[in-house]
């Protein structure tokens, strides 16, 4: 009998600290993931027409069940693109540094005499100030009534709502975003949903409109220093049985806040006073 | 017999109280068309506050009336509307504030009292602060949404003596602002008193006799 030699084991790619380091360092160049952040943002492969690629400050594609958060300066333009037509962006805003001033959905609707957000809408804080202006809206399908779905809703709908499961719920993700700014569930305001719309009838019943198709963009201009928190998960009233969500692209660059003399400043008396209140706070603290 | 505790809440003022699971909280619009701004918190964990958005999403409808389940931020029931002879109530319009008054009516309103002042004043008794404020219910307030989305507070549909009643589904803190707004018709331009009544369930007071019989 001839002895069969033991097969020579391939050395493990991560069997030593040196090999593990090489293995880790080789990953970036080989990466193909498209749902990711680009840092610096100027490394993002494409830029909106008319925007200097060197001006990008934030570039991130948030996949289904993902979330993002960023602190941005007044005058930052944030562009959200529903790349494949089934994004639903649950958005929370707070005044950076004093997050107890935050998006106030009831005031946003009531003050502007409109239940539906669209081009020209302001997103208002609970302190009577404009946090952001919706300066471009190619979607027209948004919802301020229903808020971010909870783990309990997702457990009932899809069987799971945890951040680590297959069907994360927006509120769970927003709690994580908040936690990274030392904030808790108490600090999460009511949210708005972008790219998925509803319509109320005269009796107040809500009717599903869905999205507006792939490639639609929304641009939000920061009128104040903002903490932006967003989660990309299905709308709570999306009637489709499956957890249906597709990536949203976030790009941001610097412009300037709305100022007296701009058409937006004087578009409505309520908006003028909201923008003036924001400018007054920033001016008093400057 | 049921143990009832009645509270008269004067014009422009706040009220708060603990409503135990199973108890009924009744709000009476004594003189008609008086908006009552209202928040609920789980008494054992006040981070579990009322969520207008979860309440609306679960119902698929904007207005509150008999049968409406008032849900918390995690979607669980805080209370259920068990009686309502007004017809419908608002939960998208939020509370008036000194700050939002400046937007809606101009900075000349800055000195006026407002619901958020009441919520903050009264909420402090329970350890509640600015971070705990959220979109509330406006009992007896009429906020239609037109076909084109135009939304606003219009003349009320309430009348003297109309009432809404809620059953607490767990121990809750109810926070009320008897709305002082005088720049729109939510209080018919004349803030008036309301009555708040907390009643123990009939079943509880009869339970012992039923057990013995």
Q: What is the per-residue pLDDT across A54-109, written as a single tens digit (0 to 9) for each? A: 999 999 999 999 999 999 999 999 999 999 999 999 999 999 999 999 999 999 99
- A206 and B106 in contact by Cβ < 8 A? no
Average pLDDT over residues B168-189: 97
ipTM of the shown complex: 0.94
Nearest CA in chain B to A124: B100
**pLDDT score at B211:** 37
How many beta-carbon pairs under 8 angstroms link A with B? 139
pLDDT band at B208 (very low <50, low <70, confident <90, very high): very low
Q: Return the percentage of chain A with pLDDT > 90, whole number.
A: 91
pLDDT surpasses 60 at A148: yes
pLDDT band at A46 (very low <50, low <70, confident <90, very high): confident
Sign for the pseudo-dihedral over CA of B133, B136, B141, B143? positive
- A273 and B103 in contact by Cβ < 8 A? yes
Q: Tell me the average pLDDT of chain B.
A: 94
- Minimum mean pLDDT range among A146-155, A158-167, A207-216, B204-213: B204-213
Which of B100, B115, B143 best probes binding to A when mutated, by most A CB atoms within 10 angstroms?
B100
A189 vs B contacts (CB less than 8 Å): 134
**pLDDT score at B209:** 40
Chain A, residues 19-38, CB within 8 A of chain B, namely none
Interchain contact B116–A (C-beta under 8 A): yes
pLDDT band at A2 (very low <50, low <70, confident <90, very high): low
Average pLDDT over residues A133-156: 98
Average pLDDT over residues A36-63: 92
Average pLDDT over residues A237-260: 97
User: What SS3 class is residue A185?
Assistant: helix
**pLDDT score at B213:** 32
pLDDT band at B17 (very low <50, low <70, confident <90, very high): very high
A128 vs B contacts (CB less than 8 Å): 97-103
Among the partner residues A129, A151, A236, nearest to B57 by beta-carbon distance: A236
Spatial separation of the C-alpha atoms in residues B73 and B76, rounded to whole Å: 8
User: What SS3 class is residue A72?
Assistant: strand
pLDDT surpasses 70 at B207: no
User: What SS3 class is residue A277?
Assistant: helix
Distance from CA of A272 to the nearest CA of B (A): 8
pLDDT surpasses 60 at B16: yes
B97 vs A contacts (CB less than 8 Å): 107, 126-128
Interchain contact A209–B (C-beta under 8 A): no
Interchain contact A179–B (C-beta under 8 A): no
Chain B, residues 44-63, CB within 8 A of chain A, namely 47, 51-54, 56-57, 60-63
- Does the model's pTM come out above 0.90? yes
- B103 and A152 in contact by Cβ < 8 A? no
Chain B, residues 143-162, CB within 8 A of chain A, namely 143-145, 147, 149-153
Average pLDDT over residues A188-194: 98
**pLDDT score at A49:** 85
pLDDT surpasses 90 at A50: no
Among the partner residues A110, A114, A206, nearest to B94 by beta-carbon distance: A110
**pLDDT score at A30:** 92
- B94 and A277 in contact by Cβ < 8 A? no
**pLDDT score at B1:** 47
- A110 and B116 in contact by Cβ < 8 A? no
pLDDT surpasses 50 at A26: yes
DSSP type of residue A242? S
A237 vs B contacts (CB less than 8 Å): 57, 60
Average pLDDT over residues B34-47: 98
**pLDDT score at B202:** 64
Q: Return the percentage of chain B with pLDDT > 70, whole number.
A: 93
b/e map of B117-147 (b: 16 or more CB within 10 Å)?
bbbbebbeebebeebbbbbbbbbbbbbbbee
A111 vs B contacts (CB less than 8 Å): 100, 103-104
**pLDDT score at B182:** 96
- B152 and A200 in contact by Cβ < 8 A? no
**pLDDT score at A1:** 53
Give the contacts of B168 (CB within 8 A, at least 6 positions apart): B19, B20, B21, B22, B23, B24, B25, B78, B79
**pLDDT score at B2:** 61
Average pLDDT over residues B39-63: 98
- B47 and A150 in contact by Cβ < 8 A? no
pLDDT surpasses 50 at B212: no
Question: pLDDT tens-digit profile of B90-144?
Answer: 999 999 999 999 999 999 999 999 999 999 999 999 999 999 999 999 999 999 9
As a three-state string, the secondary structure of chain B is: CCCEEEEEECCCCEEEEEECCCCEEEEEECCCCCCEEEEEEECCCCCCEECHHHHHHHHCECCECCCCEEEECCCCEEEEEEEECCCCEECCCCCCCHHHHHHHCCHHHCCCCCHHHHHHHHHHHHCCCHHHCCCCEEECCECCECCCCEECCECCCCCCCEEEEEEECCCEEEEEEECCCCCCHHHCCCCCCEEEEEECCHHHHHHHHHHHC
Average pLDDT over residues A225-249: 98
Average pLDDT over residues A276-284: 98
- A105 and B135 in contact by Cβ < 8 A? yes
Average pLDDT over residues A193-205: 97
A270 vs B contacts (CB less than 8 Å): 103-104
Among the partner residues A147, A171, A187, nearest to B131 by beta-carbon distance: A187
B95 vs A contacts (CB less than 8 Å): 106
Spatial separation of the C-alpha atoms in residues A145 and B60, rounded to whole Å: 10
């Amino acid at each position: 009998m001839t002895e069969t030699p033991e097969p020579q084991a391939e050395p493990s790619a991560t069997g030593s600290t040196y090999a593990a380091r090489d293995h880790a360092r080789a990953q970036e160049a080989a990466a193909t993931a498209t749902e990711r952040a680009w840092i610096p943002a100027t490394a993002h492969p494409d830029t909106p027409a008319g925007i200097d690629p060197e001006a990008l400050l934030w570039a991130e594609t948030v996949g289904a069940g993902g979330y993002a958060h960023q602190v941005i300066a007044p005058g930052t333009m944030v562009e959200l693109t529903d790349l494949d037509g089934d994004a639903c962006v649950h958005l929370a805003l707070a005044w950076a540094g004093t997050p107890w001033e935050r998006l106030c959905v009831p005031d946003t609707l009531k003050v502007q005499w409109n239940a539906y957000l669209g081009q020209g809408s302001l997103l208002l804080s609970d302190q009577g100030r404009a946090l952001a202006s919706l300066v471009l809206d190619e979607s027209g399908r948004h919802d301020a009534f229903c808020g971010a779905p909870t783990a309990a809703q997702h457990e009932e709908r899809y069987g799971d709502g945890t951040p680590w499961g297959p069907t994360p719920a927006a509120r769970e993700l927003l709690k994580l975003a908040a936690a990274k700014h030392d904030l808790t569930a108490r600090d999460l305001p009511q949210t708005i949903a972008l790219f998925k719309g509803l319509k109320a009838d005269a009796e107040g019943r809500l009717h599903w409109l869905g999205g507006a198709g792939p490639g639609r963009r929304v641009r939000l201009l920061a009128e104040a220093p903002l903490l932006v928190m967003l989660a990309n998960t299905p709308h709570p009233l999306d009637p489709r049985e499956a957890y249906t969500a597709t990536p949203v692209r976030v790009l941001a660059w610097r412009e300037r806040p709305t100022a007296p003399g701009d058409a937006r400043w004087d578009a409505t008396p309520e908006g003028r006073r909201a923008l003036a209140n924001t400018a007054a706070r920033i001016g008093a603290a400057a | 017999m049921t143990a009832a505790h009645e509270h008269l809440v004067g014009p422009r003022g706040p009220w708060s109280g603990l409503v135990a699971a199973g108890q009924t909280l009744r709000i009476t619009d004594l003189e008609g068309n008086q908006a009552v701004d209202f928040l609920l918190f789980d008494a054992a964990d006040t981070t579990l506050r009322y969520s207008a958005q979860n309440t609306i999403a679960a119902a698929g409808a904007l207005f509150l009336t008999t049968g409406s389940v008032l849900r918390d931020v995690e979607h669980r029931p805080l209370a259920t509307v068990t009686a309502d002879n007004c017809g419908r109530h608002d939960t998208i319009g939020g509370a008036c504030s000194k700050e939002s008054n400046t937007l809606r009516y101009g900075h000349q309103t800055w000195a006026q009292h407002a619901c958020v002042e009441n919520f903050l004043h009264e909420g402090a008794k329970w350890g509640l602060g600015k971070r705990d404020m959220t979109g509330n219910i406006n009992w007896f307030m009429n906020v239609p949404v037109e076909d084109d989305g135009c939304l606003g507070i219009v003349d009320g549909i309430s009348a003297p003596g109309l009432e809404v009643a809620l059953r607490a589904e767990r121990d809750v803190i109810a926070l009320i602002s008897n709305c002082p707004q005088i720049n729109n018709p939510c209080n018919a331009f004349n803030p008036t008193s309301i009555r708040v009544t907390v009643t123990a369930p009939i079943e509880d007071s009869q339970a012992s006799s039923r057990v013995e019989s």
